[in-house]
Structures are given as structure tokens and as C-alpha cells.
Amino acid sequence: MPPKSETRPLAHRLPSAVRLTGISRSLLYELIKRRELAVVKIGHRTLIADDDLRALIDRHRVGREA
């Protein structure tokens, strides 16, 4: 039986983004305000693309060679 492929959501609501990254809600809002993290607005929902969350983490890695 082939292994089940991992599915990632395309975007996350803000509480999920806070939980996944481990950063505070206030810091998440500050990153959005400073335009360091893009959001997607669909109706009344504010979403953050999964790729953008991963890029944020990658930009802030310490000790990684360029």
C-alpha cells in the first residue's frame, strides 16, 4: 500500500497561524502591520498563505548559511 501523501492547507486563519508558528497574536498582527507578512481577505475572513508562513520562518532562521 503506497504511503498517504501529506496534505497542507493553502492558508490558515490567524489563530491557527499563531498556534503553528508559536508566536504571539500581537506579534503576528505587528508583522502584518509592518507588511512583513501578507494576508488574504476573503469575505470577513483573514487568512495567511501557508507558503508565506513558511517563508517568514525561513527569513528569521539563525545560524543558517546563505
pLDDT by residue (tens digit) across 25-55? 999 999 999 999 999 999 999 999 999 999 9
Tell me which residue range forms the domain holding 53: 11-59
48 belongs to a structural domain: yes
6 belongs to a structural domain: no
Q: Please, which pLDDT band fits residue 8 given cuts at 50, 70 and 90?
A: confident
Q: Cell 528569521 sits at which residue? A: 60
Angstrom distances, CA of residue 9 to CA of 3, 25, 50, 60, 63: 19, 20, 7, 22, 29
42 belongs to a structural domain: yes
45 belongs to a structural domain: yes
40 belongs to a structural domain: yes
3 belongs to a structural domain: no
How many structural domains comprise the chain? 1
pTM: 0.79
35 belongs to a structural domain: yes
4 belongs to a structural domain: no
